[in-house]
Chain A
Amino acid sequence: MKDDYLWDGTGDPDPEVERLEQMLSVYKYQPKKLDLPARPGAWFSPRLAAAAALILMAVAGLWVFINRDNQAPQIVATDNAPVDSPVVAPDAGPQEAPPTLGASGPNTPYKWSVPSQDRNRGARRAAKRVERVEPDTTDETVEGLAYFDLETAKHLEKAQMLLRSFKNVSLDSNDYAVEASYEKERSRTILQKNVLLRRNAEAKGNLPAEELLGSLEPLLLDIANLPEKPSQEEVRSVKERIQKTEIIATLQIYSAPIVARND
């Protein structure tokens, strides 16, 4: 049909359309170079800076958390202390088997220990000074983890495994092209999820999650945009960027505790 030729150039050619095409080809677009001004903040952006700050805060939080275990801080309890406040009497006298503060469940990290004369008045009133005993780390929240739900954590874990897999792509062979089709395809899938989660975090005003997902996205894009048979140089370039950003470790820090806790 002649309409088919007008539509997509198939079918019997329409002589009138052909003639018009030929005649009007003098007006056809001729490729020209486009001079663009440099876009500010191509790589150094406030978002990246915020992500870096977040990573630093997380590392600092971890450091404080680890060192706190060794310090056994003294805490003064008040009468209106919460029921599950960990308390131990200051007097060093002989302590009997301390009653566990059962209200907060089996994971309660603290034990009660009160002096004998005070025990008669009731443990909660008597205990004025407290001391932490054997803190249980399972309920401690590492700073920053509260921003990531299980879905995001699992996504971060997948991304981390993908980046590790990509880092392990062999560049030793003599072939010019590198086989990275699996990573490329996987990156596409993870990228789609990443964009959704990032926008979700953005909508919720969850800046830390938005920043981390945002810093992950360029690397996923780079892998997803690789040609079918990327050159060794192209693969090496992406690998170096993954290495430079140290994002694999960051992804692990945020994903592993949450995923492990929910498994």
Chain B
Amino acid sequence: MSEIEMTGELFFLVRQDQPAVAPPVTEFSADALLVESARRGDQEAFARLYKLYAPMVHGVLLARVPWAEVDDLVQDVFLTVHKRLETLRDINAFGGWVAMIARNRAMDFHRRSRKTEERHEEFAEQTRSEANADAARVLVVIQDLPEAYRETLILRLVEGMTGPEIAERTGLTPASVRVNLHRGMKLLREKLGLEAAS
């Protein structure tokens, strides 16, 4: 009889005289199987993960850094993911792990460029000039919203992901995503001076 009871990724030693509990069978998603393949060096599996998760990473970064920087940072994030994939303990938590790396990368970006604030203005100007001016204005407003709202809203409005997809990719609960979308949209409407939807 097994002496170890497994609960998710945690192992708890069970003494012999305690009644042993049958370990629950962990369900692996299709993405988790891809992650396991990628960990074993399957480049094709990693390419599929990149294709699946790049829009999410793009959205997470766009919520925090200037648009002109996002593409390079997406590449950085996936290089980090590729390098550190071995350290991921729960393959079912890949999405949340990648999202966390993206958020950390965005923070790192701001830390490094803190002394050159003028560059932000430059980026913002670049953003406004290269894209539609209205779109740039809305994007700036979203980027000023609280963190939880702006990330969810950008994934929904920019990347075109549905609420359930956002939850699945980022590792957030569907309920959290729904609340963030609802409250974020309400706040955005107020900031943009739009009439609140009934």
* Residue pair A28, B159 in contact (C-beta under 8 Å): yes
Say whether B67 faces chain A, with CB atoms less than 8 Å apart. Answer: yes
Contact of B156 among A6, A43, A196, A200 (CB under 8 A): A6
B71/A32 in contact, CB under 8 A: yes
The reply to whether B158 and A28 form a contact with Cβ atoms under 8 Å apart is yes
Is there contact, CB below 8 Å, between A31 and B2? no
Interface of B is mostly: helix
- Closest A residue to B137 by beta carbon equals A23
A186 interfacial by beta-carbon distance below 8 Å: no
Contact among A21, A34, A41, A196 for B160, CB-based, below 8 A: A21
The answer to whether the Cβ of B26 comes within 8 Å of any Cβ in the partner chain is yes
Which residue of B74, B159, B164 is within 8 Å of A8 (Cβ)? Answer: B164
Contact with B along A2-18 (1 / 0, CB 8 A): 11001111000010110
Q: A221 contacts the other chain (Cβ, under 8 Å)?
A: yes
Instruction: Mark each residue of chain A from 23 to 36: 1 if its CB lies under 8 Å from any CB of chain B, else 0.
Output: 11111111110101
Per the 8 Å Cβ criterion, residues 183-202 of A in contact with B are 188, 191-193, 195-196, 199-200
Q: How far is the CB of B19 from chain A (nearest CB, A)?
A: 17
0 or 1 for each of B157-197: is its CB under 8 Å from A? (1 = yes)? 11110111000000000000010011001001100001001
Q: Which B residues contact A (CB, under 8 angstroms)?
A: 2-4, 6, 11, 23, 25-28, 33-34, 36-37, 40-41, 43, 45-47, 50-51, 54-55, 58-59, 62, 67, 71, 74-75, 78-79, 82, 131-132, 134-135, 138-139, 154, 156-160, 162-164, 178, 181-182, 185, 188-189, 194, 197-198
A84 contacts which chain B residues (CB < 8 A)?
Answer: none
Residues of B within 8 A of A204 (CB): 3-4
How far apart are the CA atoms of A192 and B26 in the complex, in Å? 7
Measured CB to CB, the closest approach of chain B to A90, in angstroms, equals 46
**Shortest distance from the beta carbon of A108 to any chain B beta carbon, whole Å:** 29
Q: Is the CB of B58 within 8 A of A23?
A: no
A34 adjacent to B189 (CB under 8 Å): no
Complex interface: chain A residues within 8 A of B2 (CB): 151, 200
